[in-house]
Structure 1
Amino acid sequence: MTESENTFAPTEELNRLAALGKVSGELLHDMANLVAVVRGRATLALGDARTGRIPIGELDRLAEASEELGSMLRDVMEVLAGRAISPEVVFDPRTVTERVIERFLDTTPPVRIRLSSSVPAHLRVAGRASFFSRAVLNLLTNAARHAESEIEVSLSTIERQEDHLLVLTVEDDGPGMDPQQVEAAFQPLVSGEAGRPGLGLSSVAWSMSHLAGEVSCHRSAALGGACFELCVPLVRARERSGVRMPASLKGVRLLFLEDDDAVREAMMRLLERMGSEVVSLPLLWSDEDDLISGLLRARPDVVLLDLRLGAHSGLEIWKVLQSHLPALARRVVFVSGLAPGHPEWEAASHTEQPVLAKPLDLREIARTVEQVMGSSPG
């Protein structure tokens, strides 16, 4: 057997599995941090409630942390699915940085953090804000682990050839990093401390790769410790009038088929707050005729259909609709907690109907409902 016969070209599936393997470690690391925040906030809110106080502040922060956790999961799903990010997806780096610092200080022993920015208000970063916030949070966590008492965060801009770039630096007054360890520190399961595994800096590098950015490290001239530098491209903020964002689902009758009672109840209440009329069906039909009869009684404009419904398959339900109610089949939006690339996800994608990843984002639901209603009159 020749050397060429011993090798094989990586397939798309193998590349997908490799991406999943790499991201799983990065994601679990950052999810653990957010879960800790959610858990802590929930504990504080319960404590306030038991003493008769209304824990509005804690509930607000709990909602923010939950939303960030959901965004993180959805964004990683998009990456694994290989979907391009719309050029309309931009964020204000200063606002994101301020929020990350605020959340970091909520869960970290006292440390002084100074933030300065010279970035004009009209400039934005193109891409998912969750990737940027994860990178900043991991750099702050790393800095706090080594700092004596002080961390400086700065935002500025530079010109590089024809590109306008954002530069974010995180500096500390700790011992700094051995230059020989810098490159290795950005690899998975390696930290700047000998013999101690970690994922934080690897996660920073991974996040930057999805913002067309880069991360570097050198010694801080101001504080004497480590100075980590993120560098990402900037764009000008678009006029809001040029982006059509549905604000509500007013007047839309939604049928939500979901077998998890807690998810169904919470999402139905949230969708109703957006102005829609939400109905459901008991998942107890005996045959196709029974299912069709229930759907005709429900009279939905759009069906939100989970791919897995206990003993039932969302795909099989869609096929029934395709045979008996084809107009309604064109107004189905699949939802799923499965990872892109899973056979059921791929099969749903081949129907040419939208597939949304759990946890569900209300704005994405609104946009998708508007999309399927607009492309399928009647």
Structure 2
Amino acid sequence: MTRRTLVTGLGVTAPTGLGVDEYWAATLAGRGAIRRVTRFDPTPYPSRLAGEIDGFDAAAHLPGRLLPQTDRMTRLALVAADWAFADAGLDPAHLPEYDVGVITASHSGGFEFGQNELRALWSKGGQYVSAYQSFAWFYAVNSGQISIRGGLRGPSSVVVSDQAGGLDALAQARRQIRKGTTAVIAGAVDASICPWGWVAQLTSGRLSTADDPERAYLPFDERAAGHVPGEGGALLVLEDAGHARERGAPRVYGEIAGHAASVDPRPGSDRAPTLQHAVELALADAGLDAGDIDVVFADAAAVPDLDRAEAEAITKVFGVRGVPVTAPKTTTGRLYSGAAPLDTAAALLSIRDGVIPPTTNSLPSPAYDIDLVTGAPRPAPVRAALVLARGHGGFNSALVVRAADTP
């Protein structure tokens, strides 16, 4: 019998809220956190808006020894991991040391830490570069630091596939649980709002140059002209269903029921994009039909060609306006690898509360033929949700979550 994978804890650090309750209340209210960048002076750059996290004091949550050796991204991830384990009522120290793993995704690594050390190198000399630079910038650092802090010696890894990576990390965690691991903390947190990170993001050509926060990130809208970056994400405690039941887990948000990934053909190819295929494979993996899905959490690139491709994939699987679609990331900006795990948390909360959060600011174009939820939350019974994510370079990932009491 295949081992089922349940989500028993959520840890959220988002521009719209620190912690599940604060984030979810802001999401349902449609309160946005996109604004002019404050972490550096964005005046010289063509894009000047971001979804920044306010009020995060790492020193209030982490021991002082960790602060000099960690990037902002890792500090956020460590706190999210602590919150996720607390939410799950799971103390890894009370389990055999090889029973809990950690699998995260990363888009850019610790950019700000690396920038600061390069500045020290150029302005002062090599003797002023921190020894922690050897790992604090690295893509795998969040997995490593969470593992060390929690004493997690189970299967651990990092996935690097841009926005799709957050879902791929959850899928990899599910595979490890199916192989016998008791629990895995998985997901992603990214934070690269610094000049070096900003220049790197601008090279994609997909950042919005609008200065009005309410007009800057408009997926599936005729005015769409790029996305707004953000920082943060979510980490989820994934747990074997039998273990969660035996220990009396205080809450179960739902089940990771299905997943599939694909890669698009190279630019200029006459082959079709493969997002639709990933969706169909994820549904098959979950043992569900298209009619069983109650809401789709869209990737929402806000680039016309990409929006069109995503809308076509959705309509080919579900029919014209055949399923509600939402993109609550319009309140936070796109959090790169952290975006899809945050969407997964939102999907699980939708299942819990019977409500679909809105997409803010966008006026859906009728050309896309999708039922985009806008304006206000839509009350609806939600038993199963599909989360989509696409990464630069053609990565696609589709994840199905459903209510835990589904047979």
TM-score between both structures, scaled by the size of structure 2: 0.25
The structure whose Rg is larger is 1
More RCO (CA 8 Å, sep 6+): 2
